[in-house]
Structure 1
Amino acid sequence: MLILNKYSFKSKTITLFSLFFVLLFSSCDKVVELDLQAGDPKIVIDAEIIWEKGTDGSQQSIKITRMAPYYNAEVPKVSGAQVRVENSNGNVFTFNESEPGLYVCTNFVPEINMDYKLFVQVDGQSLTATEKLISVPPIDKIEQELMPDITGPDYIVVSFYYKDPADQVNYYLTDYKSDLSPFPEYGSSSDEFVNGNEINQKFGDTDLKPGKIVEITHRGISKNFYNYINLILEASSANPFGAVPGNIRGNVVNTTDANNFALGYFRLCEANHVLYTVK
């Protein structure tokens, strides 16, 4: 079965509209900075425990930052936090600060379907989150093909294949990194209509040429994180002239003051990580 990942391909409609907009207003060269109201400098916890197949998963890291005004050039790092993760067997894994805002553990023990709980003490607040480590099937093969394009020449599409387990409901998150973009391109999917089948996911770009390297990270994720990341992806691809969406809440709970919530999501994923050189 074939899954077309709706977040993998660049939208030519948006590209063409953006070009038209630039041409229409090319005579206006004055830079306008809006006087935006700054929100609360909330804590942001980027806590992905990712167990790449073929590794022991012992080295893990968690980033803690703070929201900043829109025009700030840098994201404020949060130092001095106490960070640990405990599994349902009572084992404790301490994350020590290695540089401002980066907390590292070197003896983490990942176990599929194990429940883990995150504890963060920062700014006099206690933050917690709980998740299960989700498995992912291995990638069986990677292929490429030329995709017809009515607006220009054919372009290269890279596809990877894996066998979805038939005895469970599965959710996936994939990111693609290359020198085509300074940021990864993400795509989420589920096996709702293809449970137990071979699944094919695609990544394509008109600038994808022979010799380019595509770094693929394909994760198994929980249903709750799947719903959360879909809100993020939909917001990031929304109408640029639409209303700004509110903060999207993750699973981090402030047990000291529920109203002073943190942003971010604590998730644990097994992942395939491959480098593919376009032919």
Structure 2
Amino acid sequence: MLRLKKYNFKSKGFTLFSLLFVLLFSSCTKIVELDLETGDPKIVIDAEIIWEKGTSGNEQSIKITRMASYYSPTTPKVSGAQVRVENSEGAIFTFNESEPGLYVCTNFVPAINMEYKLFVQVDGQSLTATEKLISVPQIDKIEQELMPDISGSDFILVSFYYKDPADQLNYYLIDYKVDYQAYPEYTLTDDEFVNGNEINEKFGGTDLKPGKIVGITHRGISKNFYNYMNLILEVASSNPFGAVPGNIRGNIINTTDANNFALGYFRLCEANRISYTVK
């Protein structure tokens, strides 16, 4: 079972800080502002259809933004797009703009293993992507324990358990949210070596104290999205002094101009959501 643990998206700031620190230390006279190359302001589509267990899944949203320069304090929102999703039975779900860059549907009908197709019209371009809605097993239990730490005091470890289906290969994406981290921590898991067995996922650390609330979202995802997130998370935790990676392509295709591709990934996931208070 592959687990890529403790990934978060603080690396952008860490990379910049590290480079500035080296430059400042070497000169000791002034702060050097890096002259970074600005790429094309590509469209970014954050299209996650997430069906939380125990809910109807009718309310879904899609965010459309545009790439900005590294130092930009804001992310440009894209208004005026036409957004819809169609399932393989021909049902159409329209996403209407509720605020700049946010498109909302209130009558979506999720169905496990149903194929859905995203259509976006924006800036005179037609964008599309296709994906299936992937199921996730029910979480059976959640526990916590104290783990010894050779560098200091024991720390709290929170674990949750679920039974992996035996009749298929499965892929999972988990994120953990706590108030002392600015960004979620992500874990990818597959069942290559534990197919059909009980799987447990763990989250902990020295900052996890009694009374803290851990928000857990456990998704079932497709193999293609697993591979995409694997690349994203590897880049997010990469060496800050390594080569700058290129944009990672998702599954969104520009049918008007293939070279003018959008960033992002259209994915549909069933999910468990837990809010756990540390004891």
- The answer to whether the aligner puts 1:223 opposite 2:223 as a matched pair is yes
**Please, what TM-score do these two structures have when normalized by structure 1?**
0.92
Preserved contact between residue 131 and residue 267 of structure 2 (Cα < 8 Å):
yes
The question of whether the paired residues in 2 share the 8 Å contact of 1:118 and 1:128 is answered with: yes
Taking only aligned residues, the RMSD between alpha carbons, in angstroms, comes to: 1.9
Summarize the alignment of residues 253-272 of structure 1 with structure 2, pairs less than 5 Å apart. 253-272=253-272
Check conservation: 1:8, 1:202, Cα contact below 8 A: no
8 Å CA contact 1:9, 1:203 repeated in 2: no
1:6 aligns with 2:4: yes
Distance 1:145 1:245 in 2: 39
- CA distance in 2 between partners of 1:257 and 1:147 (Å): 54
Contact 2:51 2:57 in 1 (8 A): yes
User: 2: CA distance between counterparts of 1:265 and 1:190?
Assistant: 19
Q: Give, in angstroms, the shift of residue 142 of structure 1.
A: 0.5
Could you tell me which amino acid in structure 1 is paired with residue 141 of structure 2?
Answer: K
Distance 2:30 2:194 in 1: 52
Pairing 1:247–2:247 present = yes
Q: Is the 8 A contact 2:7 2:237 kept in 1?
A: no
Preserved CA contact (<8 Å) 1:5 1:188: yes
Aligned to 1:196: 196
**In 2, distance between residues paired with 1:54 and 1:241?**
45
Cross-structure match for 1:112: 112
The whole-number CA distance in structure 1 between the counterparts of 2:47 and 2:95 is 11
Deviation at 1:6, TM superposition (A): 3.1
CA separation of 1:9 and 1:86: change in aligned 2, threshold 3 A: closer
Shift of 1:37: 1.1
Residue 202 to residue 65, structure 1, CA distance change in 2 (3 Å): same
Alignment CA distance shift 1:29-1:108 (3 Å) = farther
Compute the TM-score of the two structures, normalised by the length of structure 2: 0.92
Q: What does residue 126 of structure 2 align with? A: 126
Counterpart secondary structure, 2:5: coil
Instruction: For 2:257, give the aligned amino acid.
Output: D
User: Which consecutive residues of structure 2, in runs of 5 or more, have no partner in the other structure?
Assistant: 9-13
2:135 and 2:104 map into 1 onto residues whose CA distance is 22
Corresponding residue for residue 11 of structure 2? none
TM superposition shift of 1:238: 0.6
Q: Give the conservation status (yes or no) of the 8 Å contact 1:58–1:106.
A: yes
Gaps of 5+ in 1: none
Aligned length: 268
CA deviation profile, 1:209-263 (whole Å, cap 9, x unmatched): 0000000000000000000000000000111111111000000000000000000
Separation of aligned partners in 2, 1:32 and 1:276: 44
* Corresponding position: 1:38 with 2:23: no
| 1:205 Cα offset (Å) | 1.5
CA distance in 2, matches of 1:177, 1:26: 37
Identity %: 80
Deviation at 1:8, TM superposition (A): 2.9
- Whether contact under 8 Å (1:9, 1:204) holds in the other structure is no
CA distance in 2, matches of 1:225, 1:95: 22
Q: Distance in 2 between matches of 1:85 and 1:29?
A: 56
Q: Which residue of 2 aligns with 1:176?
A: 176
